[in-house]
Structure formats: structure tokens, C-alpha cells
Amino acid sequence: MKTLPKLSARVTESLDLTVVENGSHVELKKIEFSEPSNNAQRSTKNVTFRECLFSHENIIGRNFYGCIFENCIFNGAEIRRCEFHQCSFKNCVLYKTRIAETYLDPTSFGFSSSWHYNWANVNAWWFQSLHRNSMDMHQKDFAMHADRRFRFYRRYEELLGKKKRPLKFLLGLFYDLMLGYGYGITNCLVVTIGFIGLFAYLMMGYTNLSNGAGALEHIYYSIVSFTTVGYGEVTPVQKYPIALVMTSVFLFLSIVWTAIVSAVVVKRLVN
């Protein structure tokens, strides 16, 4: 793993969060967390933190609203019983950051492409922690998004990590595009329509349909084949071996694909 990103300058000043004014901009400061004297000091609103240090801090019982964290360092911090509402994190370093009992949307985190290639393992670990936190908090949508991001970075880890596994990377890419990391009902629907349309196109001229039959009739044949209904009024022409082979392969793939789609649908319903 390459050296993690660092701040553009050395941080020499500390600032306690309780004295940070709402709507302000804080840059190149070590943020400290003393015990608030009242409930109002537990909330921080519309503050932009740019290149600030939160490393090894215990961030407990704090609420953030509309805050922006840009290129901040959270290495080794502990986030517990906090809430982050409409906040965003841009290229923040979250190495070994621990999180529990916290409201935090995984889609709040954005990373440049360099993170995919250089520090995929760090982000995979972080989104796995976010997934565990979301499941413990019964935030099912958050858990789904965290799991997707975890699998995304695991895919790059398989390609560029210490143990390079290009085959697993390709399988992960397939899983991403066709199944949406196991959550993509829309992905499955689009792929299913693509399968049906492709088979209908390939079978044109290889069925017992009359020469005047168009795309609609062949799509009908493709649908009844895909669903394994097989009414029998449309059949492949037996004098063309390729037609029999394509139909057999399509029937086999349709059975496998239906089982996969059913698993995805059940997973979404259970979640």
C-alpha cells in the first residue's frame, strides 16, 4: 500500500469543537473534543473543515448538520453515538477509524479515482465498518449502500492488491454490472430484456415462422423460451443445427438467470 495522503502543511494549532462557530470555515487545525457544558455545544452546523486533523480523537455524542469535511484525517478516531445529517466527506483518510451507534449515510463519502488504485483496502475496511454500524442501527438502506461500496473497493483490491487476482476482479465486475452487487433489481431487469432481445435477433430466419414474421413474433418466441413455457407453435428449424444449439443454450441460461434474479429479489425483500 502506498503512503496515505497527508495534509498540505504541518498542523501547529489546536481548536476545540465547542468554540467553533456555526457557518465558519476551519482549515489546518487539530480538532479536539472536550466535554460540552450544555446541549447546544453538542451540535455543529454548516461548518467546513478543510485539511483538519481528527486522528485518535474520541468523537462521542456529537451532532453535525450540513458540515463539509475536505481532505481531513480521521486515522484511529472513534466515532460513537453521533449523528451526521446532510454532511459530506471528500477524500478523507479513515484508516482504522472505528464507528458505532452512529447515524451516517455511506453515500456522504466521495473519493477521487486515485483512491481506487492506491488505497482500496483502506476504504474497503471503512465501508465494511459502516455496513456493520448500519446493520446494528437497523438502517437497511444505509447498510445496502455501504455493502455496495465495500464490494466496489474489494474489487479493486483484488486487481491491484498484494495478492493480485484478475479473475476475481472480472467476476466482481460482472457482479457489479449485471447484478448491482446483489441488490440491483433494475440491473437484472435490463439484462433480462437484453437477453430476450438478443436471442430474438439471433433466431430470426432460424424458426418455422413465415418469411413475413417480424421482430415482434421473434420476441414472443424468445419470451416463451426464456420463461420455459414453450407453447410449441414456434420452433427452431431442425435443418439448422445452429438454431438447436442456440435454443438449448438459451434455455439453460434462462433457468440459471431466473434462479439468480430470484435470489436478488428475495435479498431485497428480506432487507
- Output the pLDDT for position 227: 84
What tens-digit pLDDT sequence spans the chain (271 residues)?
578 888 989 988 999 999 999 999 999 999 999 988 888 889 999 999 999 999 999 999 999 999 999 999 999 999 999 999 999 999 999 999 999 999 999 999 999 988 888 898 899 999 999 999 999 998 988 998 998 899 888 888 777 666 667 777 777 777 777 777 777 778 888 888 998 999 988 888 778 876 656 788 888 888 888 887 877 777 788 777 888 888 888 888 888 888 888 877 777 766 6
**Model pTM score:** 0.74
- Output the pLDDT for position 224: 87
- Output the pLDDT for position 130: 96
Q: What is the dihedral of CA 98, 103, 108, 110, to 10 degrees?
A: 10
SS3 assignment for the chain? CCCCCCCCCCCCCEEEHHHCCCCCEEECCEEECCCCCCHHHHEEECCEEECCECCCCEEECCEEECCEEECCECCCCEEECCEEECCEEECCECCCCEEECCECCHHHEECCHHHHHHCHHHHHHHHHHHHHHHHHCCCHHHHHHHHHHHHHHHHHHHHHCCCCCHHHHHHHHHHHHHHHHHCCHHHHHHHHHHHHHHHHHHHCCCECCCCCCCHHHHHHHHHHHHCCCCCCCCCECCCCHHHHHHHHHHHHHHHHHHHHHHHHHHHHHHC
Beta bridge partners of 89: 69, 109
Task: List the domains of the chain with CATH numbers.
Answer: 1-104 (2.160.20.80), 113-181 (no CATH), 185-270 (1.10.287.70)
Alpha carbons 63 and 252: distance in angstroms, whole number = 54
Q: Which residue, 42, 83, 50, is CA-closest to 68?
A: 50
- Output the pLDDT for position 101: 95
- Output the pLDDT for position 62: 95
Phi-psi region of 61 (alpha: psi -120 to 50; beta: other; left: phi over 0): left
